[in-house]
Protein backbone atom coordinates (compact mmCIF):
# COMPACT_ATOMS: atom_id res chain seq x y z
CA UNK A 1 0.00 0.00 0.00
CA UNK A 2 1.64 3.16 -1.16
CA UNK A 3 0.38 6.65 -0.60
CA UNK A 4 0.49 9.50 -3.08
CA UNK A 5 1.22 11.98 -0.25
CA UNK A 6 4.69 13.42 0.07
CA UNK A 7 6.40 12.02 3.22
CA UNK A 8 7.59 15.54 4.11
CA UNK A 9 4.06 16.96 4.17
CA UNK A 10 2.67 17.51 7.62
CA UNK A 11 -0.67 15.87 8.42
CA UNK A 12 -1.65 19.09 10.20
CA UNK A 13 -1.49 22.43 8.49
CA UNK A 14 -1.06 25.30 10.91
CA UNK A 15 -2.53 28.65 10.00
CA UNK A 16 -2.01 31.88 11.88
CA UNK A 17 -5.03 33.49 13.44
CA UNK A 18 -5.72 37.06 12.40
CA UNK A 19 -4.22 39.68 14.70
CA UNK A 20 -6.55 41.63 17.02
CA UNK A 21 -5.86 44.85 15.08
CA UNK A 22 -7.07 43.36 11.81
CA UNK A 23 -10.23 41.89 13.33
CA UNK A 24 -11.16 44.94 15.41
CA UNK A 25 -12.87 46.58 12.45
CA UNK A 26 -15.04 43.54 11.84
CA UNK A 27 -16.06 42.97 15.46
CA UNK A 28 -19.16 44.38 17.04
CA UNK A 29 -18.96 47.82 18.64
CA UNK A 30 -19.85 46.31 22.02
CA UNK A 31 -16.46 44.58 22.34
CA UNK A 32 -14.31 47.63 21.57
CA UNK A 33 -15.04 49.67 24.75
CA UNK A 34 -13.89 46.76 26.93
CA UNK A 35 -10.62 46.39 25.05
CA UNK A 36 -10.00 50.12 24.91
CA UNK A 37 -10.58 50.51 28.68
CA UNK A 38 -8.18 47.64 29.40
CA UNK A 39 -5.65 49.18 27.01
CA UNK A 40 -6.05 52.51 28.79
CA UNK A 41 -5.52 50.80 32.14
CA UNK A 42 -2.36 49.02 30.93
CA UNK A 43 -1.03 52.23 29.36
CA UNK A 44 -1.76 54.33 32.48
CA UNK A 45 1.41 55.49 34.21
CA UNK A 46 -0.20 55.48 37.65
CA UNK A 47 -1.65 51.99 37.25
CA UNK A 48 1.68 50.55 36.10
CA UNK A 49 3.58 52.16 38.99
CA UNK A 50 0.94 50.95 41.48
CA UNK A 51 1.23 47.42 40.10
CA UNK A 52 5.03 47.58 40.30
CA UNK A 53 5.22 48.85 43.88
CA UNK A 54 2.15 47.28 45.45
CA UNK A 55 1.75 43.94 43.70
CA UNK A 56 4.50 42.57 41.50
CA UNK A 57 7.78 44.24 42.34
CA UNK A 58 10.60 43.40 39.94
CA UNK A 59 8.44 40.76 38.22
CA UNK A 60 6.37 43.62 36.74
CA UNK A 61 9.28 45.22 34.88
CA UNK A 62 8.14 43.77 31.51
CA UNK A 63 4.82 45.58 32.04
CA UNK A 64 6.79 48.79 32.53
CA UNK A 65 8.73 48.24 29.28
CA UNK A 66 5.52 47.54 27.32
CA UNK A 67 3.97 50.81 28.46
CA UNK A 68 4.23 53.53 25.81
CA UNK A 69 3.66 56.36 28.32
CA UNK A 70 7.22 56.12 29.70
CA UNK A 71 10.33 57.33 27.91
CA UNK A 72 13.38 55.06 27.80
CA UNK A 73 15.11 57.10 30.52
CA UNK A 74 12.03 56.79 32.75
CA UNK A 75 11.81 53.07 32.06
CA UNK A 76 15.44 52.57 33.14
CA UNK A 77 14.96 54.77 36.21
CA UNK A 78 11.81 52.95 37.38
CA UNK A 79 13.32 49.54 36.60
CA UNK A 80 16.31 50.29 38.84
CA UNK A 81 14.12 51.77 41.60
CA UNK A 82 11.71 48.82 41.54
CA UNK A 83 14.60 46.33 41.57
CA UNK A 84 16.17 48.02 44.60
CA UNK A 85 12.76 48.26 46.31
CA UNK A 86 12.16 44.54 45.74
CA UNK A 87 15.64 43.66 47.03
CA UNK A 88 14.98 45.75 50.15
CA UNK A 89 11.67 43.96 50.78
CA UNK A 90 13.34 40.57 50.38
CA UNK A 91 16.10 41.61 52.79
CA UNK A 92 13.56 42.82 55.36
CA UNK A 93 11.63 39.54 55.06
CA UNK A 94 14.89 37.59 55.52
CA UNK A 95 15.80 39.65 58.61
CA UNK A 96 12.35 39.01 60.11
CA UNK A 97 12.72 35.29 59.48
CA UNK A 98 16.18 35.24 61.09
CA UNK A 99 14.93 37.21 64.10
CA UNK A 100 11.99 34.82 64.47
CA UNK A 101 14.30 31.81 64.16
CA UNK A 102 16.60 33.13 66.88
CA UNK A 103 13.60 33.83 69.12
CA UNK A 104 12.42 30.24 68.73
CA UNK A 105 15.87 28.71 69.25
CA UNK A 106 16.31 30.72 72.42
- Binned at pLDDT 50, 70 and 90, residue 15 comes out as confident
pTM: 0.61
- Domains of the chain, by residue range, sit at 31-105
pLDDT digits (tens, 9 = 90+) for 47-100: 999 999 999 999 999 999 999 899 999 999 999 999 999 999 999 999 999 999
Question: Does the structure show a pLDDT above 70 at 33?
Answer: no
Residue pair 82/52 in contact by the 8 Å Cβ criterion: yes
Residue pair 48/30 in contact by the 8 Å Cβ criterion: no
d(CA 40, CA 50): 15
Amino acid sequence: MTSDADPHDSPIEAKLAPSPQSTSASTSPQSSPATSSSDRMIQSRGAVLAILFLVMGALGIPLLWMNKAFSNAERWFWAVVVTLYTALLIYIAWRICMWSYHQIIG
